[in-house]
Amino acid sequence: MDPVISSYQAPRIRFLGAAGTVTGSKYLLTFNQRKILIDCGLFQGLKELRLKNWDRFPIDPKTIDAILLTHAHIDHSGYIPRLIKEGFRGKIFCTQATFDLCKILLPDTGHLQQEEADYLARKKISKHNPPLPLFTVEDAKEALSYFETKNFDEEFEVIPELFSTFKYVGHILGAASCFVKAGPIRIAFSGDVGRWNDLIFRNPIPLPQVDYLVIESTYGNKKHDTSEPMMDLEKIINETVKCRGVILIPAFAVGRAQSLMYFLSQLKKTNRIPNSIPMYLNSPMATDVTKKFFEFKTLHKISELECQELFSGFHFIKTMSESIALNEKKGPMIIIAASGMLTGGRILHLLKTFAPDPKNTIVLAGFQAEGTRGRQIQEGAKEVKIHGNFVPVRAQVRTLENLSAHADYSEIIEWLKASNIHPKKVFITHGEPEASFALKKHLEEELSLNGFIPRQDQEFTLD
């Protein structure tokens, strides 16, 4: 028998995260006794999920040879510094834009971890004494030295006889789906799939033919509203301007903040909102991410001129004292600040000042998770607790629909139709159970595809 054939072992996949939930993306692929991870994300959201980040890693991180990273969002990249702390010493492959965003996001996450540990130390409410961060800013910076960047559509060898290629998928700057050839078996990992006909990112490009597909299902049970976010925003701003109010927009620093900035600068340019209204971006991290749009011009649809207009149209707030000074300013004005769900960050002191006045408007521009101030305000809370005090909410509260960076089920079906692929099995991940079940049904009914929803830690042979 041919010795190469006899040593061949079919690849195996094990779901170490984003199985039955949307965060913690980590898929372990074992091939010829070597191991690689596709994504290495943090569990986020409810406490019970966040605590999973502290579990002992189910295999020895030293035995993992490499990581393929689809994009920079923390639920896909945020466990990397921890894995290195635990002994991982392999290479981390991703696109250049993903690496650049990780340089911004991972140290920031380390900083937040340290802040939380300090908070627990002050409150004396941790099992650990002293309470420890999952990783520090220094750990995050060290992690960056393990990265190696690859171009979109460039095939590269990850471990012997296993090759990978990153394919453009929209979603955020640098995001990719990941195509893997392990011996004769072809597997695609969707990563987070972007929108169809988005104003900022191009459509995800079709996937090559595969034997297996691992697909996200964040909105597997939803069809996005067809409302035009720019029209909604225009209406909200003009109504608030009439009362000389302040428009306060909490937004995630990566992705959402840039979409909003683009919409606002286009509205101003076309005189759909007053040209004189000052606009502030109050987030140094969002500012750094916005600059990346200039550098990676081929990855989005915003023209050079529009990029320049976007920059000249905003005041970029750098320091904390500049941020605090915004509290003294009178409306009309527009302020974008993090965090997107009002869980922390500079938005909080602005909320204290502007939420009690009915002239002002709070614009919620994304999903507001249970237990967050954003959700409380969205559900009509008359007051919210900030820094230990109750702050009345008398401002108008509006939610902008249709701003998601994730494809809904019909867009996923559209993408797979364009790909014209016939995998033996589709693993449906990265979704709440009802979203994953709904996508499974759509895949079966509309594409005759065999969908399967893996549980956390389940392992399968891909033959």
CA dist 333 and 345 (Å) reads 20
Residue among 280 and 367 whose Cβ is closer to Zn ion: 367
Pair of tokens at residue 373: 């101030």
* Shortest Å distance, C-beta 386 to Zn ion: 28
What's the alpha-carbon Rg for the chain, to the nearest Å? 23
Residue among 73 and 150 whose Cβ is closer to Zn ion: 73
CA 61 to chain centre: 24
* Shortest Å distance, C-beta 109 to Zn ion: 14
State which amino acid sits at residue 204.
P
DSSP state of 79: T
Residues that bind Zn ion (CB under 5 A): 73, 192
Beta bridge partners of 212: 187, 425
Pair of tokens at residue 56: 């002992």
Residue among 11 and 255 whose Cβ is closer to Zn ion: 255
Are 77 and 43 within 8 A, CB to CB? no
Pair of tokens at residue 405: 């960076």
Are 39 and 26 within 8 A, CB to CB? yes
* Shortest Å distance, C-beta 17 to Zn ion: 14
Residue among 430 and 442 whose Cβ is closer to Zn ion: 430
Pair of tokens at residue 220: 């597997």
Report DSSP letters for 372-414, one per residue: SHHHHHHTT-SEEEETTEEEE--SEEEE--S--SS-BHHHHHH
Residue among 193 and 426 whose Cβ is closer to Zn ion: 193
* Shortest Å distance, C-beta 71 to Zn ion: 6
In 3D space, the residue among 368, 443, 371, 460 whose CA is nearest the CA of residue 27 turns out to be 460
* Shortest Å distance, C-beta 391 to Zn ion: 31
Residue among 212 and 252 whose Cβ is closer to Zn ion: 252
* Shortest Å distance, C-beta 76 to Zn ion: 6
Are 177 and 70 within 8 A, CB to CB? yes
Report DSSP letters for 292-329, one per residue: HHHH-GGGSS--HHHHHHHHHT-EE--SHHHHHHGGGP
- The owner of tokens 């019970």 is 48
Residue among 361 and 404 whose Cβ is closer to Zn ion: 404
* Shortest Å distance, C-beta 41 to Zn ion: 9
Residue among 49 and 447 whose Cβ is closer to Zn ion: 49
Kindly give the pairing relationship between strand 212-216 and strand 185-189.
Answer: parallel
* Shortest Å distance, C-beta 457 to Zn ion: 23
Residue among 12 and 50 whose Cβ is closer to Zn ion: 50
H-run or E-run covering 14 = strand 12-15
Side-chain half-sphere CA neighbours of 225 within 13 A = 11
* Shortest Å distance, C-beta 128 to Zn ion: 30
CA dist 159 and 91 (Å) reads 10
* Shortest Å distance, C-beta 323 to Zn ion: 27
H-run or E-run covering 350 = helix 347-354
Residue among 73 and 373 whose Cβ is closer to Zn ion: 73
Side-chain half-sphere CA neighbours of 321 within 13 A = 0
